[in-house]
Amino acid sequence: MAKKKAKKPTPAQQARKAKLTAKDKKTLNSLIGMADGVVRQASRGRAPYFEVPSRSLSNVKYSPTKKIIEMGSSKNKRELFNLSQARTYMQTLLVGRGCKELIEQGKTTSIRGLYYLLKHTIDGTREETFNDQGDCDPVIEDVEVTLNALREELHVYASNRGAMVGNIQLIDSGDEIDCSRMGSGGYAIPSIVEEEVMQFVKCDADFILHVEKDTVWRRFNEDKFWKEHNCILTHGNGQPPRGVRRLLSRMHNELGLPIYCLLDNDPWGYYIYSVIKQGSINLAYESRRMAIPGAKFIGLRSRDYELCELNPSVTIKLSDNDIKRANQIAKYPWFEKKKRWQKEIKKMLSNGFKLEVEALISKDISYVTQEYVPERLAEANFLD
**CB 308, CB 372: distance < 8 Å:** yes
Helices (H), 47-181: 86-104, 111-118, 133-147
Residue 359 CB, nearest approach to its own copies (Å)? 5
> Residues with catalytic annotation?
116
Specify the amino acid at residue 126: R
Sort strands 296-299 and 168-172 into parallel, antiparallel or unpaired. Answer: unpaired
- Residues 118 and 113: their CA atoms lie apart, in Å, by 9
Residue 290 CB, nearest approach to its own copies (Å)? 18
Residue 50 CB, nearest approach to its own copies (Å)? 25
Q: Which is nearer to its own copies, 70 or 104 (CB)?
A: 104
Residue 47 CB, nearest approach to its own copies (Å)? 28
Q: Name which of 260, 368, 268, 272 is nearest 316 in CA terms.
A: 268
Could you tell me the end-to-end alpha-carbon distance of the chain, in angstroms, rounded to an integer? 57
What is the number of alpha carbons within 13 Å of residue 114 lying toward its C-beta? Answer: 34
- Indicate the helix (H) or strand (E) that contains 228: helix 225-228
CA 277, chain centre distance (Å):
11
Q: Which is nearer to its own copies, 108 or 274 (CB)?
A: 108
Q: Which is nearer to its own copies, 159 or 327 (CB)?
A: 159
Q: Which is nearer to its own copies, 238 or 293 (CB)?
A: 238
